[in-house]
Amino acid sequence: MTEISQDGRSWPHREDCRIRTGPIAEVLDEELLGSIPTSQLLLRDSGVDAAALDPLRSILARRAALIERVVPGGAACKSPESWQQILQIFAEVGLDRGGLVVVAGGGSVGDACAFAASVWHRGVPWIAIPTTLLAMVDAHIGGKTAIHLGGIKNRIGSFHLPRAVVSDRAMLESLPLSERAMGWAELIKAAWIGDPQLLESLEQSSDSIPVDLIPRSEHLAQAVAVKVAIVDQDPFEKGPRERLNFGHTLGHALEMLSSPTMPHGEAVARGMVFAARLAEQIGEASDGTAVRLATLLQRASLPTDCSGIGLESLLETLQGDKKTRAGQLRWVIPRRPGEMVVRPVAIEVVERVLRFPPLEAIVNPLT
Ligand SMILES: NC(=O)c1ccc[n+]([C@@H]2O[C@H](COP(=O)([O-])OP(=O)(O)OC[C@H]3O[C@@H](n4cnc5c(N)ncnc54)[C@H](O)[C@@H]3O)[C@@H](O)[C@H]2O)c1
């Protein structure tokens, strides 16, 4: 059942979802696309250059009539109003039960369009063409869909696995460098939680994180494999998938408190380093763990400290977090690469570590 793509990377994932990395023209084939749909709707993220999807269009158009619409990219498309507009597109183009939705976009467009696909006719199939690094290594894998409601992020959603995910690095060429960096937070997270060899490979040479921040194809494939393995173990987020929340406890609080909202990748990068410092403090990780992680994140142009965020409001937000149980917040703690534990940590300890001086001073003593 396993296929080999041009890049040599392919996963059967769950029976109903296949994932490949490589140029669309080479890895997207009939087997991957499945049965011929009665209609096909291509939803393109407004940030994606139309011409970049030519190879995709020509493959899809050979199978059935193809209708294309543009969806505004970024966080705004996850509002209930924008989501309803996606449903209106479905209605307007007459998407029927036998139809197929192909989504070419970042994590936001993916989350909103996949949620719409999950409820349309009680679920029509979709195919994911991630166009950001974050969507390639994280958002489009695992079938979680969501939109925001009443100021709360990802409040409503569903599980709706795409039939296939095709990650083509060429899509990243038009992505701003700052957005590519956001994806590196998740790629480094994947390496740390699930692939110590990938982590070492990233650490080994100065060009393993290229200056254009487009990862090597083998590194992209390895990071994708980590997420696939974890969600396959725990498709409906009952346990092991919690590891993927490494960096997200503090990260969510930072996102909630910042205005304008701190980009997710930046918040997760800061959150991972904080969790590592917490791990050192409670004796779960050896000294140097946080510096090791911060060094790698900084090489991908990511921030690693929480300066500028008020301590009191941060503590208040953390205490109101949905992960709080019996007054103690649960943290995904990095013991060492490849070994994570989920632990409650007393708020007093959290506060103590938040008061530590920024790590940058230790990592880059000359700056
Ligand atoms: N479903 C999940 O499991 C999951 C996991 C992680 C994150 N997410 C969600 O993903 C979202 C973040 O996704 P993201 O980081 O991909 O950012 P994004 O989707 O918000 O896109 C960021 C910006 O990049 C633009 N863009 C997209 N592709 C482009 C390209 N190839 N060239 C130029 N511009 C392009 C978009 O139009 C947008 O302006 C958040 O809403 C988050 O909640 C979901």
pLDDT tens-digit map of 259-269: 888 999 999 99
Instruction: Say which residue, 363 or 320, is predicted with more confidence.
Output: 320
Integer CA distances (angstroms), 2 to 12, 142, 197, 216, in order: 5, 18, 23, 22
Distance CA 13, CA 7 (A): 17
Distance CA 50, CA 42 (A): 11
| Nearest CA, atom 19, ligand 1 | 106
Buried residues in 190-207 as b, exposed as e (16+ CB within 10 A): bbbbbbeebbebbbeeee
The reported pLDDT for the residue numbered 342 is 94
- Stated as kind and residue range, the H or E segment containing 182 is helix 177-194
Atom of ligand 1 nearest to the CA of 135: 16
Let me know if 186 is a catalytic residue: yes
The reported pLDDT for the residue numbered 51 is 97
Residue 182, pLDDT > 90, answer yes
Same domain, 161 and 183: no
Same domain, 225 and 299: yes
Ligand 1 within 6 A of 166 CB?
A: no
Catalytic residue among 186, 255, 266, 284: 186
Catalytic residue among 189, 264, 270, 292: 264
Same domain, 117 and 202: no
Question: What pLDDT, in 10s, does the model give residues 305-356?
Answer: 987 788 899 999 998 765 555 667 889 999 999 999 999 999 999 999 999 9
**For residue 361, what pLDDT band results from cuts at 50, 70 and 90?**
very low
Same domain, 99 and 199: no
Catalytic residue among 18, 160, 219, 241: 241
Residue 11, pLDDT > 70, answer no
The reported pLDDT for the residue numbered 7 is 61
**For residue 358, what pLDDT band results from cuts at 50, 70 and 90?**
confident
**For residue 366, what pLDDT band results from cuts at 50, 70 and 90?**
very low
pTM of the model: 0.93
Ligand 1 within 6 A of 266 CB?
A: no
Q: What is the CATH number of the domain that holds 297?
A: 1.20.1090.10
**For residue 239, what pLDDT band results from cuts at 50, 70 and 90?**
confident
Same domain, 145 and 182: no
The reported pLDDT for the residue numbered 238 is 84
Q: In the predicted model, what is the mean pLDDT of residues 39-60?
A: 97
Same domain, 57 and 190: no
Answer whether residue 36 is part of any domain: yes
The reported pLDDT for the residue numbered 4 is 40
Residue 234, SS3? coil
Question: What pLDDT, in 10s, does the model give residues 143-158?
Answer: 999 999 998 889 999 9
Instruction: Say which residue, 118 or 9, is predicted with more confidence.
Output: 118
Q: In the predicted model, what is the mean pLDDT of residues 289-307?
A: 94
Between the CA of 184 and the centroid of ligand 1 the distance, in Å, is 13
Answer whether residue 4 is part of any domain: no
* Of 174, 208, 230, the domain-final residue: 174
Same domain, 162 and 183: no
Let me know if 122 is a catalytic residue: yes
Same domain, 182 and 167: no
Question: What pLDDT, in 10s, does the model give residues 217-226?
Answer: 999 999 999 9
Distance CA 86, CA 117 (A): 9
**CB of 356 closer than 8 Å to CB of 277:** yes
The reported pLDDT for the residue numbered 66 is 97
Answer whether residue 219 is part of any domain: yes
Number of structural domains found in the chain:
2
Pocket test for ligand 1, best of 70, 82, 103, 111 (most atoms within 8 A of CB): 111
Q: What is the CATH number of the domain that holds 40?
A: 3.40.50.1970
Same domain, 146 and 268: no
Q: Which domain holds residue 269?
A: 177-363
Q: In the predicted model, what is the mean pLDDT of residues 74-94?
A: 97
Answer whether residue 161 is part of any domain: yes
**For residue 359, what pLDDT band results from cuts at 50, 70 and 90?**
confident
Same domain, 146 and 195: no
Q: In the predicted model, what is the mean pLDDT of residues 193-217?
A: 96
